[in-house]
Structures are given as structure tokens and as C-alpha cells.
Structure 1
Amino acid sequence: MSGNPAPLALITGGFRRVGAAIAIELARAGYALALHGRSDLTPEPALADVLAAQRTNWHGFAADLADADAPQALVDSVTAHFGRAPDLLVNNASLFDYDDWQTMSADMLHQHFAVNLFAPMLLTRAIVAGAGAGATPAIVQIIDQRVRNPNGDQLSYTLSKQALAESIRTLARAFGARARVNGVAPGLTLATSDYDGAQMARLAARMPLNRLSDPGDIARAVRYLAQEPAITGQLLFVDGGAHMLSLERDFVFMDKQDQA
């Protein structure tokens, strides 16, 4: 095969849920994929099907992003395997545990900031430092709509995502033409077992667009920011308009069906 190689994307948390949807979108766009997981490196079925159908050049990499040495080691492993540095980094992996102002602790803050802020920063630094002459890698940080109108739930998580959101413009200025840095802020996207269908419908009806975001929405936004060469320093909310609302609690606590 002749011509330039496929662009290479590193996606943290790329085997499951929203990360898998991003991987599917990028595979269909012709990217080679370095997919990160903490330990399990088996693609979920829909992703496995697309990787096979597209004949995507991909490989899985295990790393615990709470380990301060893991980001550089991960980028080194990806570069060694593919023989080149990634053109795109999607910082999707995150820690999401519950605390509030009463239960917040130094340990909870450290855990969330280690995974949700320090790891993305160190991965970003490694990608930009390893880029070849004339290359302009794209960085897309996955944030959360709650950074615009926060409430008191999942406080350590929220603070870490607020810091990551604020880093976007700062890093975009710091890197200049060496890298583009942008972000995507989803709303409630994939329900867990804590939700039921009726609650999801009521939550969707609260949104300005009368809908929640779905994984494909997030994935297409990532692809757009990855491929538009004149965009940097931007945070794109993809959330049905949730960021324009002042919500009193996290989604999981809202619009529960009253019990008779």
C-alpha cells in the first residue's frame, strides 16, 4: 500500500462506553487506534465488529493512570509499537466516585486529580514532546457539562474536571502551533443501573433540546475537533443544553418516580 499512513489516535478508556463510541467513529474515519484500558483490553462487541469490518490497525495498552509514571510509559509503548507518535490524543478515561463537602477528603481529592487532571496533563506533555518536526498533534479532553453550573455532588470529581476544563485555553496558548487543545463536555449520556427508562425520559424532557446526549454525539464532536486545523482552545458542550441549566443535584438523584 502506498501513500501516507493512517493517522494514529490514542484513546484512554477506549474499550468501553463513550470511549468505545469514540473509537468506532475514528476507526470509520480511517484512524489507526491505540486503545488504553486499565486492565481489560477486550473491545466491547460493537467496537470489535467495527474494528474487524474496517480492518483497523489497532492495539491495546494497559496502564493504571493513577500511577504518575504511567502516562509517559504509555506514550512510549504506543510509539514503540506503531513506530511513530500519535497524531491525536483523546483523554477520555476518568474516575467518578461520590463525595460531597462533608465527605471530601485529601485521599478522594488526590485519587480524582491523579486520574482526571494529572494523567491527561502528563499524557498531553508526552504527546507534544514526542511529535515530529512540523507535526501539530490534536488533543481532545473529555470534560463534563457540570463544569459550567456545578452542584455539590461528586465534589472531588467535579473539581478535577473544572481544573481540566480550565487547562484547555492555558495549554492552547502555551503550545501555540505545536499542538491544538480542545475539549468536549458531555451531559448524561449512558445510563447506569441507577436509572430507569422513565427517569431518563423525564430528564430528557428537562433539557432545552428535549434530549440527552448519546455516545455518537460525543464521538462526532471529538472527530470534528480532531480534524479542524483552525480550532484550538475551545470547549464544546454536547449535552442537549444541560450546561445552560442550574441543576440542583446530579442527574442520578433527579426526577425519581415518587413511590406511592
Structure 2
Amino acid sequence: MSRVCAVFGGSRGIGAAISKAFAREGENVVILAKNVDRIEATLESLNKIDGGGTHTGLICNISSETDVKTRLSQVYDKYGRIDILVNSAGITKDSLLLRTSKLEVSDLLELNLIGPMITSRVVLKEMIRQQDGCIINIGSIVGLKGNIGQSSYGASKAGLLGFTRCLAKEVASRNIRVNLIAPGFIKTDMTGGSQFLHMENHIPMGRFGDPTEVANAAVFLANSPYITGQMITVDGGLQLAI
């Protein structure tokens, strides 16, 4: 039986690649994102994949617990369950800390860290009832190694790793797995600026990654019933660089 995979931030970049990868696996994919045009475009791509699943797109603000509860309730009404939750929604606003306002820090933490905590809390009750479930959080190499001008972003992603490992311990006895993927520099619109061009020189493999390479790791984790509390870096060896 096809599983149900809910992907927050599943309409663009890494999230869209993850949505498509699970669709190819034959899963039922639900995209939850804020931009209706991107949702429709990605949903059209999913429906062209001959995987056998049925796919849905829902507008959702991950920063609103009420919105998250409402949209996930619609998912349960349609499919009856959620087997895989992917927290891929995120933003970055690069700025030195001295030039960053408290509101900017708060907005970034709200989406990148508190959002995944909200979505996870909402699905956990049903996953516990199912005695089965998989949560995959998308972190960042910046949360491990740091990067100039990304102190708020790095803090949110480092916090996401801590959250992942704590929650994994909390729910392991219920057969629920929680893992994190930490991408390096991946070719998306978030890394399209000129400020990132020099980073290729620091990557041992000498190139940026493709979103599909992160998506492959997500599928691997979803299909690995004895892996929990782990972090997989998909970064071309960047974490090894001095």
C-alpha cells in the first residue's frame, strides 16, 4: 500500500525534488506551501510521474499552528494517515548580526525551527496511534560549520539538529523515526546569488549539489526502519574541509 508523505515547503528547490522522488516511489504526496502558483506547477509535475500515487497541494503557513492543524486535518480526512513528514520549508536572510533586527531573527527562527516543531507535534498523535512514522528534517551544513553573515540561519539549523535528536529519543519506542539531512551548497534559487560562487573552491568534489541528491537521501531514510536520530550530510565533502 502506498504511504502518505506530507512535504512542507514541497513546491520549490529541495522540497520539490523530495516531492518528486517520493512520487516516483509510488507514494501519495501532499505538498504544503505558501505560493499557490508553485504548488500548482509542482503538482502538475507530480501528476505526470507514473508512480501510482495520488497527489494533493495545500496552501499552508508553517508559522501558524492553526493553519498547520487545519491543513493536516484535511490530509487525514482524505488519506486517513500520514506516514512520512518532511520539514523542508525554510528561509535565509543573510546579514551580519550587528545589522540584523530582533524581528528578522524572530521571523527566521519561527519558520526554520519552530515551524518543524509545530508540524511534528501535530502529526505525532496519529503516528503514535499508528505505531509507525517517519519525520525527516532538512537542516544545513551552516548549522554545523557556520558561515559569515548567517548567524541567525545557522542557529536555526543547529537548533533543528538538536530538536531532531531529542525527539528521536522521545518517540523511538513507538516505532517513529526522526532524522535530519544537512545539505551543503545545493543548486537552488537560494544559492543563486554571486556571493555563493566562490564556495565551489572549498568543496572537495568541486561542485554544488543537485536537489535530487538530497531527495535520494530522504527516500533512503524513509525506507530505513532501523535508522533514527541521525544526520546525513549531503555536501560533496564540505564538512571535511578545514
Give ranges in structure 1 of 5+ residues lacking alignment. 247-260
Distance 1:67 1:231, change over 3 A: same
> Superposition pairs for residues 18-97 of structure 1, below 5 Å?
18-40=14-36, 42-43=38-39, 48-54=44-50, 55-82=52-79, 84-97=80-93
Greater C-alpha Rg: 1
Residue of structure 1 equivalent to 2:126: 130
Q: Does 1:11 align with 2:46?
A: no
Query: What amino acid does structure 2 have at the position aligned with 1:229?
Result: P
Deviation at residue 112 of structure 1 after TM alignment: 1.1
Give ranges in structure 2 of 5+ residues lacking alignment. none
Deviation at residue 154 of structure 1 after TM alignment: 2.3
- Write 1 or 2 for the structure with the bigger share of helix: 2
Query: Whole-Å Cα distance in 1 between the matches of residues 46 and 68 of structure 2?
Result: 27
Query: Whole-Å Cα distance in 2 between the matches of residues 150 and 85 of structure 1?
Result: 37
Residue of structure 1 equivalent to 2:206: 210
Q: TM-score, normalised by structure 1?
A: 0.84
Distance 1:245 1:116, change over 3 A: same
Query: Whole-Å Cα distance in 2 between the matches of residues 136 and 19 of structure 1?
Result: 23
Aligned length: 238
1:199-235 CA-to-partner distances (Å, cap 9, x unmatched) read 74x6334312223221111000000011100000001
1:238-258 CA-to-partner distances (Å, cap 9, x unmatched) read 011112235xxxxxxxxxxxx
Q: Does 1:184 align with 2:181?
A: yes
What's the RMSD between the two structures over aligned residues? Answer: 2.1
1:86-145 CA-to-partner distances (Å, cap 9, x unmatched) read 100000000211222202332112111111111101111111112263431100000001
Identical-pair percentage: 26
Query: Whole-Å Cα distance in 1 between the matches of residues 206 and 38 of structure 2?
Result: 35
**CA contact under 8 A between 1:68 and 1:114: conserved in structure 2?**
no
Residue of structure 1 equivalent to 2:168: 172
Q: Does 1:110 align with 2:106?
A: yes
Q: Does 1:239 align with 2:218?
A: no
Deviation at residue 42 of structure 1 after TM alignment: 4.2
**CA contact under 8 A between 1:149 and 1:245: conserved in structure 2?**
no
**CA contact under 8 A between 1:24 and 1:47: conserved in structure 2?**
no
